[in-house]
Amino acid sequence: MINLYHLRYFLDAVRLGGVSPAARKNSLTQSAVSQAIRSLEKQVGVPLVLHQRNRFQLTEAGVDLARSGKKLLNFSIDVQDRVAKTEPVIRGELRIGATTTLAMTLLPKKVARFRQLYPGVTLQIRIGNSEVIQAWLKKGSVHIGFMADDGKGLKHLKRTKIEESRFVLFIRRRNPTRMKLGVPSLIVSRKGRSEVRKLRSLYKKKYKRELGIGLEIISWEVIKSFVKAGLGVGFVPEYFLREELCSGELRELKGIGQSIPCDILAVSSRQRPLSNLAEEFLKIAKGEAAI
């Protein structure tokens, strides 16, 4: 059976002329849209696009699906709307915890979709760091939380991977000075964070010298602002830079650091089963809910 979310991403890529604009439209990474298209190809059993670098071209099957897929998508939306009008309004409360970064990048469209499906549900969004979210889950203050995997281990929580991401080194595309790793221009959150330690270890292994840190700034948002001002090389998750990397405002520095993962996780208490509303929101977050 065709996944309608994957179909929508494919149709957006066809209409907009590539994976990058489709990713921007749906607030996803390019890799997430590419993976969705590959999954769609597995579902239909034939290639839909010619997988070539810097080129988006449909196969004959892709052209055929692009023509018929829009009708299928519109039909599913129409059926869903008609069914929704005959069902009683579901009421209740859903409390969600999220880090500031994910509240800015992941949640808006997910919350909008949830509100569309469940207009009678009261939503509460709480913002905190990963430690605070874990405390909320333990107390039952929130039903479900969203955070990036910080490498510290969350074995006491039930974890669901929402999206695969990674850390990247990035710089303003038009930078006034030449900047190299190892000089006091590298901007990180904290030297002690696991991903920064991993970066420094990879750098030392490759270049046989220590990687210098110029600035430590707790906020990824502030790091991005400093880099946009031309003050250094930043180190934050790729998903946090989607729009800027796609538009070309910021540029990724290749060569080291790309192998450090930063997956987006939905977390919940192992002691408390997810409520039905939390389960429905999780489906939306994973792209498994009805379009």
Condensed to tens digits (0 to 9), the pLDDT of residues 200-248 reads 999 888 888 888 888 999 889 999 999 999 888 999 998 888 888 888 8
Residue 290 predicted with pLDDT over 60: no
Q: Rounded to whole angstroms, how far apart are CA atoms 84 and 244?
A: 38
Fold matches, 92-161+264-286 and 167-252? yes
Give the per-residue pLDDT at 86.
58
Domain boundaries, the chain: 4-86, 92-161+264-286, 167-252
- 12-26, 85-99, 238-252: range with highest mean pLDDT: 238-252
Considering the domain 167-252 in this protein, what is its CATH number? 3.40.190.10
Considering the domain 4-86 in this protein, what is its CATH number? 1.10.10.10
CATH of 92-161+264-286, one of 3.40.190.10, 3.30.1360.20, 3.40.710.10, 1.10.10.10: 3.40.190.10
Under 8 Å between Cβ of 276 and 251: no
Quick one: what percent of the chain has pLDDT higher than 70? 87
Average pLDDT over residues 154-171: 87
Question: What is the residue-wise DSSP string for 80-119?
Answer: HHHHHHHSPPP-EEEEEEE-HHHHHHTHHHHHHHHHHH-T
Residue 79 predicted with pLDDT over 70: no
Task: Kindly indicate the confidence band of residue 182, based on its pLDDT and cuts at 50, 70 and 90.
Answer: very low
Q: Could you tell me which residues are beta bridge partners of residue 16?
A: none
- 58-72, 73-87, 92-106, 170-184: range with highest mean pLDDT: 92-106
